[in-house]
Amino acid sequence: MSITPENLGDLSRRTLLRRAAAAGLLATPAAGLLSACAGSEPSKSDDTGAAKSKDNPFGVKDGSAVKVVIFNGGLGDQWAKEDKVVFNAKHPNITVNMSSTQKIKTEEQPKMATQPSDLVMNSGADMMDRSTLINEGAIEPLDDLLTAPAWDSEGTVADSLLPGTVGDGTQNGKFYVVNVAYTVWGNWYNAALFKKEGWQAPTTWDEFFALAPKIKAKGMAPYVHDAVHGYYPRWGLMASIWKTAGKQVVVDIDNLKENAWKADGVLKALEPWEKLVKDRLLLPGKLDHTQSQQAWLDGKAAFIQVGTWLKNEMSATIPPGFELTLSDYWSNADDKAPKDVFAASGEGFVVPSKAPNKEAAKEFLRAILSKAGSAKFAELTKSLASTKGSGDNVQDSALASANTLMKNGGSELISVKFQDFYADLDKESQNLSEELMAGRLTAQQFVDKMQAAADKVAKDSSIKKQTRTA
């Protein structure tokens, strides 16, 4: 077949299936483009493996062991332990050695050139740079995983995934990263508080600025965010750029197009964030992600911008009666794409090229992406998995609000790629996002400095350039 993962990602981004990307809306995987590629007849693998079949498409050998490393962050690691149960139900004679950490780069990168773990969840603040791993051949292309039969549903693994998941894990025309979580970002608020006060959750910046004095009158800051990790505020800034200026401007930014940061709409998108800071609507203090989230739960701020892992990360300290509710990033009156939602697959697994048991690593990924595994993921994390229908049977207000947001969204999902393409530009954008939200840069200065940083990368012939097509 000539279908590629890149084509699949492009196709899925251009269909209204995007709107069904939340719990319960894509419960029954349709027969996809890759279905005919997945054979079910047993065949012999190489001399070191076992016979290949629909239930063992990679020829994993009985008696072997697979080392799996889990990032134990906002989603915890209990869901991965459940995947181990799913895996061993089908492969009882394969030993799964699972460990959890938050120091992925520190602990795993030094092993990549010698004897790495078989499967690594590359996530968190201490994650390995994806482009570097790919450019240096340190991780394995996983296109054969996409064409393999799904673990416990009809069709292929690719057929079982939510739109965008294949595209998000694809670079240079090959599929490298298996994202297992499906995250929706936006502005969270306590619906119980808003009902009590008679406040209407804003949908536009004008509505927010009109509501802000009422919030302040109650002794609360209107807004709080992570002021330590620059990629947190960057989510909101880039979502606003997409909504105001349109998708093509973000694609041009990703592709290092000349003066892309100075395109019409970019500055206008950032000016409300500058106003939020200048009007002192942000909770003071250099708080990190959990500190800012706790401040919000403690009633010190009305809104916080973060992804759908929020409830699981803060589950131990959510006050009784607190209704976590997700609303979209606010738009301006004449935005080009006001209804487009910021959502994507994330929490990515990679298989090191020198892993001793790549076959078992891929097989464990099939288990993670199974209906059974993804249902446990949604149940335990209160967040969607990247497998269709993961949240069908989970009753939760936070998950339901994310579902509603997706259903009412536009025909595209907001996505940004430059931070995955270029490590130096990623770092600079995080630093500048922090500076803007700290009031040390104006929106215009942010735009000028981002353009200069992008120009530097574009002119550096030693940096391999990436192309975003959709």
- So where are the chain's domains? 43-183+344-401, 184-342+415-459
Give yes or no for a contact between 241 and 269, defined as CB atoms under 8 angstroms apart: yes
Report d(CA 120, CA 187) in Å as an integer.
31
Question: CA 440 to CA 138: how far, in whole Å?
Answer: 39
The 8-class DSSP code of residue 171 comes to E
- Measuring CA to CA, which residue among 207, 198, 203, 199 is closest to residue 187? 203
Amino acid symbol at 323 = E
CB proximity list for 288: less than 8 A, separation 6 or greater: 226, 227, 228, 229
Characterize the bridge pairing of strands 65-71 and 119-122: parallel
Give the global pTM. Answer: 0.71
Instruction: For strands 341-350 and 174-175, give the pairing.
Output: unpaired
For domain 43-183+344-401, say whether CATH 3.40.190.10 is its number: yes
The arithmetic mean of pLDDT across residues 52-62, rounded, is 94
Looking at residue 411, its pLDDT comes to: 80
Q: What percent of the chain is predicted at pLDDT more than 70?
A: 90
State the SS3 of 316-347: HHCCCCCCEEEECCCECCCCCCCCCEEEEEEE
- CA pair distance 222, 277, nearest whole angstrom: 11
> Residue 39 — very low, low, confident or very high, per pLDDT cuts 50/70/90?
very low
pLDDT given at position 440: 97
Q: Between 24 and 398, where is the model more confident?
A: 398
Read off the pLDDT of residues 218-258 as tens digits, 9 standing for 90 and up.
Answer: 999 999 999 999 999 999 999 999 999 999 999 999 999 99
Same fold, 43-183+344-401 and 184-342+415-459: yes
Amino acid at 53: S
- Coil/strand/helix, residue 257: coil
> What does the pLDDT read at residue 190?
98
Q: Across residues 2-15, what is the average pLDDT?
A: 31
- pLDDT mean across residues, the chain: 88
What pLDDT, in 10s, does the model give residues 308-321?
989 988 999 999 99
DSSP sequence for 35-63: GGG---S-B---TTS--BBTTBTT-PPTT
According to the CATH classification, is domain 184-342+415-459 in 1.10.10.10? no
Work out the number of other CB atoms within 10 angstroms of the CB of residue 298: 10
Q: Provide the residue type at 59 as one letter.
A: G
| pLDDT tens sequence across 351-402 | 999 999 999 999 999 999 999 999 999 899 888 899 988 877 777 889 888 8
Confidence of residue 48 (pLDDT cuts 50, 70, 90): low
Diameter of the chain measured on Cα atoms: 73
- What is the spatial distance between Cα 168 and Cα 345, in angstroms, rounded to a whole number? 7
What tens digit of pLDDT does each residue of 279-304 get?
Answer: 999 999 999 999 999 999 999 999 99
pLDDT at 384 (0 to 100): 86
